């Protein structure tokens, strides 16, 4: 079943269609939520909220964008609301990164530890970016969305997204230089 038919069936409260939608999109939703919270349990809680929202609002999906874009938008908003509500404590960077590229098996323990430390430094630097720069950068560089998809998700223009990502990269570079230098 393609996405337009799937969301129409979900809008009609078809439980099987909803199960299929969850199976199709759950891993990406949890992964994206994890990028914001860096806590597996919080990401899974956010994913439940996202799918509950989709269940409730499926009739409001107009099809102006791809279903995946709509789901990304709901996930970003739900994640940000969660963070604001809980005034996120410093996360435990020991939790593994969901859906990240696994380290090659050829890494020795020292290399694996250095890789883990580098990720921690990167995520700490990302946390220092203003939200308006951090979110587009996460969606583009970590989630692999195109500028157009990021623009649709955040309801901004593509040039605006290009500018924000450029500024985010420059700011991130400065933050990392301070941390490492």
> Domains of the chain, with CATH numbers?
1-89 (1.10.1740.10), 108-181 (1.10.10.10)
Q: pLDDT tens, 18-73?
A: 999 999 999 999 999 999 888 999 999 999 999 999 999 999 998 888 999 999 99
- To the question of pTM greater than 0.75 for the whole model, the response is no
Model confidence at 98: pLDDT above 80: no
Q: Which two tokens stand for residue 38?
A: 């860096």
How many CA atoms does the CB half-sphere of 25 hold within 13 Å? Answer: 26
Residues 128-175 pLDDT 10s: 999 999 999 999 988 888 999 999 999 999 999 999 999 999 999 999
Cβ proximity of 125 and 175 under 8 Å:
yes
**Three-state DSSP state, 27:** helix
Lowest-pLDDT range, 34-48, 80-94, 96-110?
96-110
Positive or negative, the CA dihedral 53, 59, 64, 66 is positive
């Amino acid at each position: 079943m393609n996405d337009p038919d799937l969301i129409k069936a979900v809008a009609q409260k078809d439980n099987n269609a909803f199960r299929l939608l969850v199976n199709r999109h759950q891993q990406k939703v949890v992964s994206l939520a994890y990028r914001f919270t860096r806590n597996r349990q919080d990401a899974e809680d956010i994913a439940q909220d996202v799918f509950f929202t989709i269940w409730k609002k499926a009739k409001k999906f107009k099809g102006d964008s791809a279903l995946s874009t709509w789901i990304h938008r709901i996930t970003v908003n739900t994640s940000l609301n969660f963070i604001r509500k809980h005034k996120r404590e410093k996360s435990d960077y020991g939790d593994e990164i969901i859906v990240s590229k696994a380290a090659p098996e050829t890494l020795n323990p020292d290399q694996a530890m250095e890789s883990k430390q580098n990720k921690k430094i990167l995520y700490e630097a990302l946390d220092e970016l203003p939200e308006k720069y951090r979110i587009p950068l996460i969606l583009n560089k970590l989630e692999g969305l195109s500028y157009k998809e990021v623009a649709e998700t955040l309801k901004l223009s593509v040039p605006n997204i290009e500018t924000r990502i450029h500024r985010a990269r420059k700011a991130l570079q400065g933050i990392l230089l301070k941390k490492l230098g």
